[in-house]
Structure 1
Amino acid sequence: MKFLKNIQKLSGCRAAILTNQSAFGYQGTYHFQTYSKIFDLKTIFLPEHGLFAELQDQVSGDELSYLFGNMQIVNLYGKEESSLVPPRDSLKDIDLVIIDIKDVGSRYYTFLTTAYYILEELSKLKKETGKAPIFLVIDSPNPIGTKVEGSPLEETYQSFVGVKSVLHRHGLTPGGLLSYYNESFHLNVDVVVVPVGVIHPKKNPSFLWVPPSPNIPTQNTCYVYPGMCLLEGTNLSEGRGTTKPFETFGAPYLLGKEKIELDKRLSNHQKGRFQLRNLRFLPTFHKHVGVICEGYQLMVTKPKQFHSLYFTLFFLKQLGELFPGQFSYLKGVYEFRSDRPAIELLVGDRFLLEYLAGKHSESLLESYFNEKETDWLKTIKPYRY
């Protein structure tokens, strides 16, 4: 890993870029527009959701069309799994690949997985030909800081929503996580990180937040996402189709004495670190569209202490006990994989899946988290900058 404090040193290089609307500057322009004046920008790689976050989750970007001079547009989220990997031709005749895209601090978020797939292809290209473009990461702050949550993803559960060995909430910046991939997986690509502040300020005020994808509308969403993303693998609404996705959640069947008992159990969990507001909501699209859902708004009051993943696992375990005939985990294709249900890909850990099945206590889960999170903090120490 190398650091670069002046990208003008690479002026004139032939370049490709992975980016979207989250890379937006104080001058009122998108970063790729700035780079087109510095580099010979030949290709824009599109991540999931498109260049301007036009598309909802798991919607192919094959139909998207943009016109930016002579730049080639390469969609890396199409209808087939093969589309996730950049075509080899798109990596030829370029000097560097720029990664300038915001992350939200959770391993499920697909932008840095797309960057990882590009990194892998550069590694293969270097082994085959002896050379590969520079991998230039324009770093940006982790919006939820350096706190970590969870356990390493076991390789058998690896997918587009999780790279092996990474925790649910990883605590790294894009430059740190991609450098970890490069060195830990022995990819041997020439990774160069441009520190925070060269392109955008060290601290982005919340009022300048640009939603990196359609269902991360605010920075607050990022604090609950490390846990609440698990709801994608269930028949609960995770709030898509509302103005507060992942903070708003529920289902039509959360009713009766079981709901009262659920309220009681949740109120005793991680006391003082969050508040739950009971509510009813009507999703305008996605799960339970047009049906009134009973549920909650999750309001984090102590972000440095609240453990989103623990909350969500505890919540799902209670649903399994209180609503066994109504609550369920989804089956079918999820992010191009059909051999495992979505909840397994998202949880990514046999011990945690056993907890959901009622095989482990809360105290044992807490000890497990403490061990795995401590180990991860030691592992990533060289990549925290």
Structure 2
Amino acid sequence: MKFLKNINKLNGCKAAILTNQSAFGFNGKYHFQTYAEIFDLKTIFLPEHGLFAELQDQVSGDELKYLFGDMQIVNLYGKEEKSLVPPRESLTGVDVIIVDIKDVGSRYYTFLTTAYYILLEISRLKKETGKAPIFLVIDSPNPIGKKVEGTPLQKEFESFVGVTSVLHRHGLTPGGLLSYYNETFHLKVDVVVVPVGVFHPKSISQFEWVPPSPNIPTQSTCLVYPGMCLLEGTNLSEGRGTTKPFETFGAPYLVGKAKEELDKRMDSHQSDDFRLRALRFLPTFHKYTGTICEGYQLMVLKPKQFHSLYFILYFLKQLGELFPKEFEYLKGVYEFRSDRPAIELLAGDSVLLDYLYGKLSESALSEYLDQSERHWMKLTKPYRY
């Protein structure tokens, strides 16, 4: 991985940028506004949710309009899957592609997948023409640190919510993960990583939490997201439409004797790492809008020990046993894919799916997770800093 020592060399270069509101400066300006004073900034690439995180998940940004001088706005989350790939003309005629956007530490989170698709297209451009822009990553800390969770995504499950070989909780910074992609997949792009403090010594987003998308309101949301995002593939509410998405979850059908047994099982499964608080909630949008849900608030007590993915895998397995008629995995289109259920794209691993369907023991799951996580830590050691 390359680090830039002399940023003055880039002054005046023609540039494009992938960014959003998560990159915000102490001077009251968004980072892209500061770059416009350093570079000849031609294009802003919009990720999912828009430049200011205006849009909910899986909502096209085609209708978004912004006025920033003569800068071109290229939406990379439209109504069709082909919109995810940057148009070739947006990559030619520029010297630098800047990536300055917050990640939340989970492979499902689409911002760095969008950056990966840009990286792939730059690689293709370089192979075809022999020329390509520098890929400049403005690096920021991983909000949930270097701890990892999960198993490598298997090729057959690759999608916009998961790149092959990456764990559910990867433990890397944006610069580390994008450098991993570049070298592991032999893309041969000139990737350069710069700590955010080099360009923005007093960037507020280094110290204060700026929500990168509508349903990651706090840093604590990031701690549970590596596991709780699997709820998107089920008929449980993941808490969208509440003030604590992914920390609040449930469904109207969690009642009766089966719910009492579920409470017992989850109570016996609890440790000092987390607590479940039983509650009722009413989503104001998304699943079960305007309907009272019975559920829980997940409270993480020891972030360094808590394993969000293992928690939700265990929980979903219990639901399958106790609510066989009510609980279900959703079908239909999810992040442009309709050939596989969302739970398969999110779990990304046939072994984990076997566990959910009752074909794998608790001990086998624990051993498999441990081995996968140890291997990933060794594999990604060069990209951790």
Which band: TM-score by shorter chain? over 0.9
In structure 2, what is the Cα distance between the partners aligned to 1:372 and 1:44? 37
> Which residue number in structure 2 is paired with residue 277 of structure 1?
277
Q: Percent identity?
A: 80
> Which residue number in structure 2 is paired with residue 24 of structure 1?
24
> Which residue number in structure 2 is paired with residue 335 of structure 1?
335
In structure 1, what is the Cα distance between the partners aligned to 2:225 and 2:66? 30
In structure 2, what is the Cα distance between the partners aligned to 1:238 and 1:136? 35
> Which residue number in structure 2 is paired with residue 45 of structure 1?
45
Conserved 8 A contact 1:5-1:198: no
**Matched ranges for 1:250-269 at <5 A:** 250-269=250-269
In structure 1, what is the Cα distance between the partners aligned to 2:107 and 2:270? 23
Conserved 8 A contact 1:216-1:245: yes
In structure 2, what is the Cα distance between the partners aligned to 1:207 and 1:242? 25
Conserved 8 A contact 1:104-1:142: yes
> Which residue number in structure 1 is paired with residue 215 of structure 2?
215
2:42 counterpart SS class: strand
1:318 corresponds to 2:318: yes
Cα distance per residue 1:84-107 (max 9 Å; x no partner): 000000001000100000000000
Cα distance per residue 1:50-100 (max 9 Å; x no partner): 000000000000000001001000000000000000000000100010000
1:153 counterpart SS class: coil
In structure 2, what is the Cα distance between the partners aligned to 1:46 and 1:204? 21
In structure 2, what is the Cα distance between the partners aligned to 1:19 and 1:196? 13
Conserved 8 A contact 1:25-1:199: no
> Which residue number in structure 1 is paired with residue 133 of structure 2?
133
Conserved 8 A contact 2:58-2:335: yes
C-alpha RMSD of matched pairs (Å): 1.3
**Matched ranges for 1:175-214 at <5 A:** 175-200=175-200, 208-214=208-214
Which amino acid in 2 is paired with 1:155?
A: K
TM-score by length of 2: 0.98
2:269 counterpart SS class: coil
**How far did 1:199 drift?**
3.6
In structure 1, what is the Cα distance between the partners aligned to 2:240 and 2:346? 18
TM-score by length of 1: 0.98
**How far did 1:19 drift?**
0.1
Moved >3 Å (runs of 4+) = 199-207
**How far did 1:197 drift?**
2.4
1:60 corresponds to 2:97: no
> Which residue number in structure 1 is paired with residue 151 of structure 2?
151
Conserved 8 A contact 1:141-1:203: no
> Which residue number in structure 1 is paired with residue 9 of structure 2?
9
**How far did 1:203 drift?**
9.9
Cα distance per residue 1:267-298 (max 9 Å; x no partner): 22251110111100000000000100000000
In structure 2, what is the Cα distance between the partners aligned to 1:154 and 1:213? 27
> Which residue number in structure 2 is paired with residue 124 of structure 1?
124
Cα distance per residue 1:107-141 (max 9 Å; x no partner): 00000000000000000000000010000000000
1:268 counterpart SS class: helix
Which amino acid in 2 is paired with 1:367?
A: E
In structure 1, what is the Cα distance between the partners aligned to 2:259 and 2:272? 21
In structure 1, what is the Cα distance between the partners aligned to 2:315 and 2:225? 14
In structure 2, what is the Cα distance between the partners aligned to 1:196 and 1:299? 31
Q: What is the number of equivalent residue pairs in this alignment?
A: 385
Identify if the C-alpha distance between structure 1 residues 36 and 203 changes in structure 2 by more than 3 Å, giving closer, same or farther.
Answer: closer
1:294 corresponds to 2:291: no
**Structure 2 unmatched runs, 5+:** none
Identify if the C-alpha distance between structure 1 residues 136 and 241 changes in structure 2 by more than 3 Å, giving closer, same or farther.
Answer: same
> Which residue number in structure 1 is paired with residue 92 of structure 2?
92
